[in-house]
Amino acid sequence: NAGVTQTPKFRVLKTGQSMTLLCAQDMNHEYMYWYRQDPGMGLRLIHYSVGEGTTAKGEVPDGYNVSRLKKQNFLLGLESAAPSQTSVYFCASSFEGRAGRAYEQYFGPGTRLTVT
Amino acid sequence: AQSVAQPEDQVNVAEGNPLTVKCTYSVSGNPYLFWYVQYPNRGLQFLLKYITGDNLVKGSYGFEAEFNKSQTSFHLKKPSALVSDSALYFCAVRDFKAAGNKLTFGGGTRVLVKP
């Protein structure tokens, strides 16, 4: 199993450019997440998905869009990149959480994005 | 709303000494609590979790954590630290009612184990 993979690993964008980050998981997880990590702020949830064809906003969704057309893939898009979006982006996945059960999230290796 | 606080930005410890990384949480209902570790230029790796039952939870790499409901804390511990334990540690909480299995992470604590 590859687990959770992310492409690309690094990217430099100019302000106003667009890009898509791809996340893929091979663990048949129902739930998938996109986070950003900034120094001293831990991880903040951008968007998440509880199943194929569904997405929901997290803590910091502005400036990002997502799609989950296939269960194993979760795409994060930046339509018009801004310097404030310079960050490390992590994708994660987990089994469905049910009452009395809490499944850990599995993380990808991250994408380091710089917007100049 | 759920929140997590890690009061120490960095913890320094000598190899062989006990290691403690502190975490306090706030949730409206019963908490599910997690610890993750992040090595340089890597993603987060799961260490352990508390859902219910025994307040002392054992996890990977010799780590354990103690759940204290009255103090709303979930401190991570290791009896004898190794240089290889140097990393960034995150505590996370999920309210059992939260939809989507969403976690809220603390700001992280950097652990430096000196030989």
Question: pLDDT, tens digit, for every residue of A54-63?
Answer: 999 999 999 9
Q: What is the pLDDT of residues B79-94, one digit of tens each?
A: 999 999 999 999 999 8
Q: Which residues of B touch A110 (CB under 8 A)?
A: 41-43
In which band, very low, low, confident or very high, does the pLDDT at A98 lie, cut at 50, 70 and 90?
low
Question: How far, in whole angstroms, is CA A90 from its chain's centroid?
Answer: 5
Over residues A73-101, the mean pLDDT reads 90
DSSP classification of residue A103: P
Asked if residue B98 has pLDDT above 80, the reply is no
3-state SS, residue B85: helix
- Could you tell me the CA-to-CA distances from B71 to A102, B22, B63, B66, B67 in Å, in that order? 22, 12, 21, 11, 9
DSSP A105: P
Cross-chain residue pair A103–B105, CB shorter than 8 Å: no
Range with the largest mean pLDDT of A17-21, A37-41, A94-98, A101-105: A17-21
Listed residue (B28, B44, B46) closest to A102, CA to CA? B46
pLDDT of residue B28: 85
Report chain A's mean pLDDT, rounded to a whole number: 93
**Per-residue model confidence (pLDDT) at position B75:** 98
Predicted confidence band of residue B95 (pLDDT cuts 50, 70, 90) = confident
What SS3 string covers B44-84?
A: EEEEEEECCCCCEEECHHHCEEEEECCCCEEEEEECCCCHH
What is the per-residue pLDDT for A42? Answer: 86
- A39 pLDDT tier (thresholds 50, 70, 90): confident
CA distance B80 to chain A (A): 26
Which of A90, A105, A106, A112 would you mutate first to test chain B, the one with the most B CBs within 10 A? A105
Is residue A89 within 8 Å of residue A27, measured between CB atoms?
no
Query: Could you write out the DSSP letters of every residue in A61-87?
Result: -TT-EEE-SSTTEEEEEESS--GGG-E
CA B22 to chain A, closest CA, distance in angstroms equals 15
- The minimal CB distance from B96 to the residues A33, A99, A107 is found for A99
Q: Round the average pLDDT of chain B to a whole number and report it.
A: 93
pLDDT at B53 exceeding the cut of 90: no
Confidence label for A66 from pLDDT (cuts 50, 70 and 90) = very high
| CB proximity under 8 Å: A 62-101 to B | 90, 92, 94, 96-97, 99-101
Dist CA B42 CA A14 (whole Å): 25
Q: Which residue has the higher pLDDT, A100 or B10?
A: B10
Candidates A96, A101, A109; nearest CB to B42? A109
